[in-house]
Amino acid sequence: MANDPIHQFQIQKLFPIEVGGLDFSFTNSSLFMVATVAAASAFLIFATGGRGLVPSRMQSIAEMAYEFVAGMLRSSAGTEGMRFFPLVFSLFMFVLVANLFGMFPYFFTVTSHIIVTFVLAMIVILTVTVYGFMRHGTHFLHLFVPSGVPAALIPIVAPIEVISFLSRPVSLSVRLFANMLAGHITLKVFAGFVVSLSAMGGLGVAGAILPLGMTVALTALEFLVAFLQAYVFTVLTCMYLNDALHPSH
């Protein structure tokens, strides 16, 4: 039971709530969503509380996060894209903090559930679609007809573009979910080897050194993945938003 690598993804109800037959219970997942939001907001607000001209360390980190996301958005969607900055920044901070929270032992990883990453991806795709149609009207459909393609090829290219557009929320959500899930399972499996091998006596303890080393290395890798996946999610968000702003490639 303790070594079950799937156990860490269990949803446990903390306060059962049921409305109209649907289960809206406050679960451990909800708790960590609240914790993620609270920690990220508190950090950004308290770190910038001094409004120092010369930033303190904490303020410097908050500013770096801001400029990092702003740089991504500006380089892929231009200055016009800055209207989406609060959304992109919220997504980046939420995913990053949720991923990093998952690195604490016994903490629940919010982003290891497909439904969470899918909802986040849908927020992006719906924003792109709704804004794209609002701003460009039917001209937004030019997104599916790349410029410079011969007329004869359009019947072939357009469906491919449509499928690629529709697969975006799937790829965006599955990438984040699968990375977090697989990383945590691997980590748990190797850590489980350490426990079960060292229970086997002297030779087992010696044999446990290798998986222990792997666990340490994987932990470092997972920290990298936690950041990298937040980054990738945000970069792709920026690129999709660019499509909403400039549909004709």
Site residues (vs another protein, CB under 8 A):
1, 6, 9-11, 17, 22-27, 29-30, 33-34, 36-37, 40-41, 44-45, 48, 51-53, 55, 59, 62-63, 66-67, 85-87, 89-90, 93-94, 110, 112-116, 119-120, 123, 177, 181
Q: Name the residue nearer to another protein (CB basis): 94 or 240.
A: 94
Distances (CA, A) of 211 to 187, 219, 221: 10, 12, 15
CB of 70 to another protein, least distance (A): 9
Q: Name the residue nearer to another protein (CB basis): 174 or 212.
A: 174
Q: Name the residue nearer to another protein (CB basis): 1 or 152.
A: 1
CB of 107 to another protein, least distance (A): 15
CB of 183 to another protein, least distance (A): 14
Distances (CA, A) of 208 to 182, 188, 214: 22, 14, 10
Q: What are φ and ψ of residue 49, in 5° steps?
A: -60, -35
CB of 85 to another protein, least distance (A): 7
How many whole angstroms separate alpha carbon 231 and alpha carbon 95?
9
How many whole angstroms separate alpha carbon 8 and alpha carbon 107?
8
- Give the CA angle between residues 89, 249, 142 to the nearest 5°: 105
